[in-house]
């Protein structure tokens, strides 16, 4: 039998918090995001933003603001934001307006 504690009266179910990321303040000046353009076999294009901080709520808000400003679909997934469409220039200008440093990765 395993001696791992799975429940405590103080903290509740400890298994639920196993994969939780630490929420904290985001220092936007120290971020360096990686932006790259991906295409599928049928020519569909997606802009992917990586290098995000661990603060999930900040990342979701950034993705929501970005999609709303550009007027496209997309999603925040585990550790990256994807934006549908050939919109690299608009994504770059949005990140510049938010004063977030980024670099283009790939072709």
- Nearest C-alpha neighbor of 80 from the set 58, 49, 103, 56: 49
**Cα 104 from Cα 87, distance rounded (Å):** 13
Q: What is the dihedral of CA 22, 72, 95, 79, to 10 degrees?
A: 30
Contact 50, 90 (CB under 8 A): no
Share the mean pLDDT of the chain: 85
- Is-above-0.85 flag for pTM? no
pLDDT at 23: 62
pLDDT (mean) for 42-48: 89
pLDDT (mean) for 61-71: 94
What domains are defined for the chain? 30-104 (3.30.780.10)
- Nearest C-alpha neighbor of 30 from the set 106, 102, 97: 102
Q: How does residue 21 score in pLDDT terms, banded at 50, 70 and 90?
A: very low
pLDDT (mean) for 39-53: 89
For the cut 60, the answer to whether the pLDDT of residue 5 exceeds it is yes
Q: What is the dihedral of CA 89, 106, 47, 24, to 10 degrees?
A: -100
């Amino acid at each position: 039998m395993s001696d791992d504690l799975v429940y405590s009266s103080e903290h509740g179910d400890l298994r639920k918090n196993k994969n939780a990321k630490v929420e904290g303040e985001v220092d936007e000046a120290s971020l360096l995001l990686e932006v790259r353009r991906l295409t599928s076999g049928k020519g569909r294009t997606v802009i992917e933003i990586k290098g995000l901080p661990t603060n999930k709520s900040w990342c979701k808000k950034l993705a929501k603001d970005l999609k709303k400003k550009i007027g496209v679909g997309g999603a925040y997934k585990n550790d990256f934001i994807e934006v549908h469409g050939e919109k690299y220039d608009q994504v770059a200008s949005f990140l510049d307006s938010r004063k977030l440093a980024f670099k283009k990765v790939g072709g």
